[in-house]
Structure 1
Amino acid sequence: MRLMWFTITIFVLSTFSGCAIFESAPYPPDKVEYPSGPLPPSVRPTYNLSGYPPATKEGYIDGCETAKKTRYGRKDENRYVTDGQYRMGWDDGFDLCHEK
């Protein structure tokens, strides 16, 4: 009888002691954090945009991925306001990919 109580006590203590040590993250996460700045070229999706300036290409990719709601979709607000080529590419990419 004494062994049974000892076993039950150890089981209960070990079960509840884990609750204070480990806290699980909320699911779904409260706030999704995206990396700041452009993604490295090895991670970004590729499109055949030969002949366009780099800013237009980057804007197109960002706009298209935003329209498709992928994890690569982001809009660099500061660049959108200050860089006309990026803005043109973003708008074109968003419009064309949003229609699909």
Structure 2
Amino acid sequence: MMRSISAVLLIGALAGCASTGPGSTGQSQRPAGPPPPSARPVYNLTGYSPAFKDGYIDGCETAKKSAYGAKDARRISADTQYRLGWNDGFSICRRK
């Protein structure tokens, strides 16, 4: 009886030391396309336009080199509020 309990505990301890698989670095890869709103990082940007908020989040996450970092070249050139938000987010989060 004691041997079987010891064997089960040994197997459990060894299973806890198993690797997660080849090539697994523990970092998540950004999915194709924009992340769903519920998955995006949240910042308190009350009073700013939605375009500014999008730009700030993209810029800040780019500065932090997170999986959500992005620079939408089309919006940067066409949307002033997005561009201002991206630049502000990038410069503020880069200093942290």
Same fold (TM over 0.5): yes
C-alpha deviation, 1:39, in angstroms: 1.5
Q: For structure 1, which runs of at least 5 residues remain unmatched after alignment?
A: 1-24
Letter in 1 for 2:49: P
**In structure 2, how many angstroms separate the alpha carbons of the residues matched to 1:36 and 1:47?**
23
- Decide whether the 8 Å contact of 2:30 with 2:68 is kept in 1: no
CA–CA distance in 2 between the matches of 1:69 and 1:47?
16
AA in 2 matched with 1:47: Y
Deviations 1:19-51 (A, max 9, x none): xxxxxx9x59xxxx7444422111100000000
Residue 70 of structure 2 aligns to a residue whose secondary structure is coil
| In structure 2, C-alpha distance between the alignment counterparts of 1:64 and 1:86, rounded to whole Å | 12
Report Cα offsets for 1:35-83 as digits up to 9, x if no partner: 4442211110000000000000000000000000001111111111111
Q: CA RMSD in A?
A: 2.3
Decide which moves more: 52-61 or 76-85. Answer: 76-85
1:94 match: secondary structure: helix
**TM-score for both structures, normalised by structure 2:** 0.67
**2:76 aligned with 1:80:** yes
Listed one character per residue, the Cα deviations across residues 6-29 of structure 1 (whole Å, up to 9, x for unaligned) are xxxxxxxxxxxxxxxxxxx9x59x
Q: 1:38 aligned to 2:34?
A: yes
Unmatched tracts of structure 2, length 5 or more? 1-21
CA radius of gyration, larger in: 1
Residues 1:76 and 1:36: Cα distance change in structure 2 (over 3 Å): farther
For this pair of structures, how many residues does the alignment match? 74
